[in-house]
Amino acid sequence: MKKILSTEKIPVKLWLDNIEEGALQQAKNLANLPFAFHHVAIMPDAHFGYGMPIGGVLATEDVVIPNAVGVDIGCGICAMQTSLTDIDKDTLKNIIASVRQAIPTGFKHHKKKQSTALMPKVQGNLDINELKIVSREYDNGLTQLGTLGGGNHFIEIQRGSDNRIWIMIHSGSRNLGYQVANYYNKLAIKLNQKWKSEVNPKWQLAHLPVSSHQGRQYLLEMQFCVDFALANRLLMMQRIEEIFLSFCVGVDYADPINIAHNYAAVETHYGREVIVHRKGATRAQKHEKGIIPGSQGTTSYIVEGKGNSESFCSCSHGAGRKLGRKQAQRTLNLQAEIEILDKQNIIHGIRSKRDLDEAAGAYKDIHTVLKNQEDLVDILVTLQPLAVVKG
């Protein structure tokens, strides 16, 4: 931990030296919520978000805050070690071309619905029709399953410090998660107005009591989206495995590591059962394996959690942005960013200024981010990028 801010109702614990003013104010808002528990934890990759900083961890008593989870519910990382110890560039190019054909990116979906057998079950074996938004969007979800999405989502082929080739996927719950998040955030805003909530509506932190019907429904629909996001990553990984097998003879795969970084969960901390919201933060319980990706063109990491209670057993979910998307497109030098990747011999997709929102220069230094959380995780494997597909 770098510092503790003690000026608010409860402390704000920060794992970074410098935090932008907007994100800091959001952290202070969290600390002044009447139902915030014990302290607020801000991870080293933190930056400004909607209502809550990306890279924030908030524990609450008896309420859940849809905007403290965000719109891409269940977004996370899947990483898998292969038995390959090397891969040549021509093979990599063929694999990446096949991946682009097999996995829709950006706003694209599959033209045909995927099998319902691949969809998650509703928690508690409830009927799907008990989930208002999920049931409404279910058929659309069948075409979104196994798709990457856009923004900072990616598929990356990497070389590990363990002398193995790895596959990594960053993706979430697609439009399904967005629809659930949007509906329940609007509902929470409406109900908070009705209840004359003491929380400033400008903070964008409208809440739902977990004992209420609306709170219980949100938690059920949110969990379905978390499970859908996992199923989405696993289906993409399965298809990438098949592509590898068509170009690489005899390749085997270890069990994938899967983590989510946008969700709320019931956990016990400091002797109390609370709702822990992780928005752009990864759980890092003692001996738990996790993944901290870098930016395009920088190292990523397989890590092991230390179970640090001061972070609510959490760590960063990545490097974290230092430039907004439009700011990056305006200010970064296209040729310089391309050279960063070309010098490392990375197969990438940066072609125009429009692509600069996901250039390495738009992100914080991953080495500093890792250094700032040495009390949260240990590094197990360092992963160097070889080829990247961006959403």
Look at the block and give the residue holding tokens 């901290």. 292
Intra-chain end-to-end CA distance of the chain, in Å: 33
Calpha distance 340→347 (Å, rounded): 11
367 noted as active-site residue: no
Cα angle 358-363-367, degrees, rounded to a multiple of 5: 135
Calpha distance 106→391 (Å, rounded): 5
Calpha distance 310→363 (Å, rounded): 26
Beta strand spans in the chain (E): 3-5, 12-14, 36-47, 54-60, 63-64, 76-81, 154-160, 165-171, 208-209, 257-260, 262-269, 272-279, 281-283, 289-292, 300-305, 314-316, 377-390
Tokens of 328: 């990056």
Calpha distance 1→3 (Å, rounded): 6
Query: Measured on CA atoms in the order 338, 341, 342, 348, is the torsion positive or negative?
Result: negative
Calpha distance 31→38 (Å, rounded): 9
The one catalytic residue among 39, 170, 261, 317: 317
Tokens of 377: 């995780």
Task: Report the C-alpha dihedral over residues 259, 261, 266, 271, rounded to 10 degrees.
Answer: 90
Residues tagged active-site: 317
